[in-house]
Structure 1
């Protein structure tokens, strides 16, 4: 179909009925089978739409006005939802969000892995899908001579300056960001300017322990020193004496990566602690720790259930991070081996094992796809392998190493259904059968979904 033959033209205004929704929450309407994607539109709705981009196989439109409204449409409780890129689904009822995520997993398994004979369970959601994030990273900018903090508008580095609160992060994190911005303003500490690569204050990061109430503030600057540092710390503690830790991270580079390589403790402890179930974790400024502790417990409980341990098993946790899943498994396994490429994470994993008195764990730095064949050569035979890879999924060599090790079961935890489905193809070709699929809503109000699956030999 050439550009001339598309059923719509750029800048045309049309009436469009929506029949579906994409994995990132855009409404899908069709004209003669040609799809048009529109944000903030729900299935069952009709809207007046302006076409803003036309491609050979699809178009993108902007909603001008709603003609008919879905019963699942709700008023977003956040004042800046339509300006901010952080959440994508606040305009839809929570029940619809859970259903959409279940369907997304079903569709991807059918389309990519051609798996249609396994039941995808209803998504496990939250009783209260707000204020769940235990970590916030907020950029700092300048407007009318004053410091401002807020998330960026979608696909830009423009800070939303009228953003007062973020209703998916914990209130204590919100309060601490406000406090640090105010103190920095009073002391004339300049914001970092991306264009000129001048200024000081780049980001404010706050982490809190959901079950311990401990808090860590991380001040990210371009410079090695914070101007008026002693007074800065003094004023913060004056207003919030219960802070556990104030850290300083230095990021001198022209980059959109938030944290630099150097972190110093300015006040208090280098770690805060939190618990998930009966397991205690030490969390540093740089630790990877799940941002929704309530749902992390749901996710890990499900992974433990699928691992089906009776106490005599040897388990491998590939991509083990700070040992969070490993330690859950160690409660029921004879021995757990964890492997992870990030040395700092392995240090944290060892610290966390010691913290919980779990001496049936062993953690190794390295690439799982290289370490696991070496373990096989040493005669290590796992009964269960658990894998929780990053969004890009498992390395092809790791999938083959898993199949070679021939465990009874493989528990695959995924934050990206598309790469999960791709990897399932290799594992099923290697002699494994997918048995169970459980979506877990770790990130309510956003289009992201976690899935726990189990495959048996």
Structure 2
């Protein structure tokens, strides 16, 4: 099969032949043109709140995805092929190499296809419900070099699994752990509740901003760790983190930003609704030897509402909500608690703009807006915004209205205006 990625060796720019069919990339122009496009969009949408800094680019905007999910199928010749689901669809596009995915992933996938054929492991068919292997998940740490392979199957049975694991590790000694995940009724590219470690520890570790993080199969972790380090550094600096500062890390996930704040001396409370992510966050705090951070498995808005009712306070709110942004209830709780600073990390500039409008009305202004190109070749723009509390202008007292003025009505469409008459009387026509 011919390579899908072609490289212009004079410029170093890469192009993908699957651009229109796959949908994983949304931009095909040169990287400098992509940055200009994103800078213009960020300025257009956010400059009304404050100065928008220059977007932070990637030095090498390729092979940055440390999380790679691959699906399998058979072609008309009964040959096993691999690829990705079309964006927003369940139709598979055959891809053997991708310019966004970590380079270590593609050779491992090729070996898995050979082993599937040798051991008669059939790809799962979404239409018929037949077959076994749903997809694979490969997670890589660029800092430690550790590699995790997750085999996601429709049933607990994995034929010749010991031989499969032995052959895969022999071909790729860089693999540090292999996990078998069982997902009998899941949607495409999801993980099931049950996992069995076949090789290694069942997790990998990554280093970020001087901290170490454990990544299990279901952990939420930014897919571009190179840019994430820059993003989080901006967030911690904007928050003015120092010893003794009290921080709430809302939507904390596996605790990354909160742990970095705690490492810099802050007293941190993390809140996360996903119980698995919260569990990972506690493990990560222990991994870094921190006793100045605690995590709670709860809805962030409800947790903060309870804080407000108790009269609790803190200095900085760090929030990294999902793409849908923060809820009105959450913003209301945040404003009621009135932290001096709010650091908003956003992966959706559209919902960020919406939420900033609300915060502005509630007495917060943006003092720092930093776009970061986390997802080259896509339309995505990650942003760090620092909001600081300021005094809202006092509401003007309502002006007194005279009797004559009360008699003035707005002119209805297509009807005459009743005019006030001196002494409260109206002359007959």
Structure number with bigger Rg:
2
* Residues 83, 92 of structure 2: 8 Å contact kept: yes
Query: Which of 91, 105, 124 pairs up with 1:158?
Result: 91
Query: Which of 91, 99, 109 pairs up with 1:177?
Result: 109
* Residues 106, 120 of structure 1: 8 Å contact kept: yes
**Superposed counterparts of 1:105-120, under 5 Å:** 105-109=42-46, 116=48, 118-120=50-52
1:103 aligns with 2:40: yes
* Residues 69, 189 of structure 2: 8 Å contact kept: no
1:145 aligns with 2:78: yes
* Residues 443, 449 of structure 1: 8 Å contact kept: yes
Moved more, 407-416 or 149-158: 149-158
How far apart, CA to CA, are the structure 1 residues paired with 2:213 and 2:262?
14
Q: Which runs of 5+ in 1 are unaligned?
A: 1-72, 110-114
Matched with 1:211 is 143
How far apart, CA to CA, are the structure 1 residues paired with 2:55 and 2:269?
30
How far apart, CA to CA, are the structure 2 residues paired with 1:76 and 1:239?
28
**TM-score, normalisation: structure 1:** 0.80
* Residues 366, 386 of structure 2: 8 Å contact kept: yes
Quote the offset at 1:77 in angstroms.
2.4
Matched with 1:289 is 221
How far apart, CA to CA, are the structure 2 residues paired with 1:176 and 1:279?
28
Matched with 2:322 is 390
* Residues 74, 92 of structure 1: 8 Å contact kept: no
Query: Which of 335, 352, 357 pairs up with 1:403?
Result: 335
**Equivalenced residues, count:** 378
1:81 aligns with 2:14: no
* Residues 99, 122 of structure 1: 8 Å contact kept: no
Structure 1 residues 291 and 423: alpha-carbon distance in aligned structure 2, compared to 1, 3 A threshold: same
* Residues 383, 409 of structure 1: 8 Å contact kept: yes
Quote the offset at 1:210 in angstroms.
0.8
How far apart, CA to CA, are the structure 1 residues paired with 2:49 and 2:293?
36
How far apart, CA to CA, are the structure 2 residues paired with 1:400 and 1:104?
28
* Residues 315, 333 of structure 1: 8 Å contact kept: no
* Residues 49, 366 of structure 2: 8 Å contact kept: no
Matched with 2:169 is 237
Deviations 1:275-325 (A, max 9, x none): 012110000000001111110000000001110123221000100000001
Query: Which of 105, 126, 129 pairs up with 1:194?
Result: 126
How far apart, CA to CA, are the structure 1 residues paired with 2:250 and 2:23?
32
* Residues 135, 189 of structure 2: 8 Å contact kept: no
Quote the offset at 1:107 in angstroms.
2.5
Q: Secondary structure at the match of 2:142?
A: coil
How far apart, CA to CA, are the structure 2 residues paired with 1:252 and 1:260?
7
How far apart, CA to CA, are the structure 1 residues paired with 2:110 and 2:281?
33
Matched with 1:4 is none
Q: Which runs of 5+ in 2 are unaligned?
A: 1-10, 390-429
**TM-score, normalisation: structure 2:** 0.85
Matched with 1:92 is 29
Structure 1 residues 403 and 288: alpha-carbon distance in aligned structure 2, compared to 1, 3 A threshold: same
How far apart, CA to CA, are the structure 2 residues paired with 1:253 and 1:310?
47
Matched with 1:15 is none
1:355 aligns with 2:287: yes
Deviations 1:257-284 (A, max 9, x none): 5222221111111111010121100000
How far apart, CA to CA, are the structure 1 residues paired with 2:201 and 2:242?
38
Q: Secondary structure at the match of 1:160?
A: strand
Q: Secondary structure at the match of 2:345?
A: strand
* Residues 55, 371 of structure 2: 8 Å contact kept: yes
